[in-house]
Amino acid sequence: MASRSTRDKTLIEITVVGKDREGVVAEITNSIFRHGGNIEQINQKVVHGLFGMHLEASFRNTIKLQKIHSELRDLSTKLQMEIKAHVEEPSRKKNVALLVSKEPHCLSSILTALRKKEIDSNISVIIGSENTLKGIADELSIPFRSVSYESGSANAESEILEAVENYNIDLIVLARYMRILTPNFVWRYPNRIINIHPSLLPAFPGAYAYVQAFERGAKIVGCTAHFVTEELDQGPIICQEAFKVMEDDTLETIRKKGQQLEAATLLEAVKLFLENRLDVYWTKVHTLSKS
């Protein structure tokens, strides 16, 4: 999860991304230890020469965040890698970025919940792979940023990363965002990107889940809200819902029922995150009771 503060300790999330090289883990962990921190979690991997690390450190004593940020910036320059630290401030609302394409049902569900005060957050920006849903953002005076993939995924993701950083985003929600995010993007926001997938994972991965379910004669169809990892549709599962397929159901009725369920299930996952009720241990999500 993102870093969080409690009465007896502060948790800081650090992500490191860059060209693989020796000594990175030692440099970062030694920096944490020098500031009196303890390593709570650490995950690292290398894919095609790209190194990614996610680390959570706890501090029980009063810490000087500016000094830690300064030292990490120095390490970033020294190691020639991107190093970010995220600290959640309990006194402020979480900032959320919604990524969308054409389908409005998930976006509308979240925005309706916001208006009804069913969720407590700032929808700081809506980012679209096209302009289809810009009107919805304009109606609510929410900044909308259109990102083109014509010049490739790397450039598009750079634009999204810039926006996410500018708005100090705590949570990224893929509200039927029909683009695959690369490890270079995902590693920067471990367990802070939530996606909704139109099937009961791990079955029927990919974009045509309802078609597969219909063609295979599935008797139960559902959807899955999960955290995004570099492995497509394989991230830790937050919540799932399903409905029975009736004999007279068509592909279109299955899709319509599924979209309604997607909107509700994604909203539930977002609520749980915003209420700090999700903890991830390895590949499993644990839902905490309300405090």
With 50 as the cut, is the pLDDT of residue 7 above it?
no
Q: What share of the chain is helix, strand, coil (3-state, %, to 5)?
A: 30, 30, 40
Token pair of 178 as six digits: 């029909």
Q: What residues pair up with 243 in beta bridges, in sequence order?
A: 221
pLDDT band at 224 (very low <50, low <70, confident <90, very high): very high
* 249 among known catalytic residues: no
- Specify whether the CB–CB gap between 16 and 82 falls below 8 A: yes
CATH of domain 94-287: 3.40.50.170
List, by residue range, all CATH 3.30.70.260 domains of the chain: 10-86
Catalytic residue (choose from 120, 233, 248, 279): 233
Residue 200's nearest CA partner among 225, 227, 228 is: 225
Q: Cα–Cα distances in Å, from 77 out to 73, 83, 90?
A: 6, 9, 30
Residue range 10-86 forms a domain whose CATH class is alpha beta
Q: What is the pLDDT of residues 9-46, one digit of tens each?
A: 778 889 999 999 888 999 999 999 988 889 988 888 88
- In sign, the C-alpha dihedral spanning 222, 228, 232, 236 is negative
For residues 77-110, one letter each, b for 16 or more C-beta atoms within 10 angstroms of the residue's C-beta and e for the rest, the string is eebebebebbbbeeeeebbbbbbbbebbbbbebb
Asked whether the beta carbons of 80 and 96 are under 8 A apart, the reply is no
Please determine, for residue 291, whether its predicted confidence score (pLDDT) is greater than 70. no
pLDDT tens digit sequence for 242-253: 999 999 999 999
User: Model confidence at 8, in pLDDT bands (50, 70, 90)?
Assistant: low
Tokens of 237: 């599962």
Handedness of CA 129, 133, 139, 140 (dihedral sign): negative
How far is residue 97 CA from its own chain's centroid?
9
Residue 188 pLDDT > 70: yes
Q: What is the DSSP letter of 1?
A: -
Give span(s): CATH 3.40.50.170, the chain. 94-287
In Å, what is the CA distance from 204 to each residue of 103, 121, 168, 232? 20, 32, 34, 12
Alpha helices in 16-147 (DSSP H): 24-34, 65-79, 105-115, 134-139
Share of the chain above pLDDT 90, in %: 55
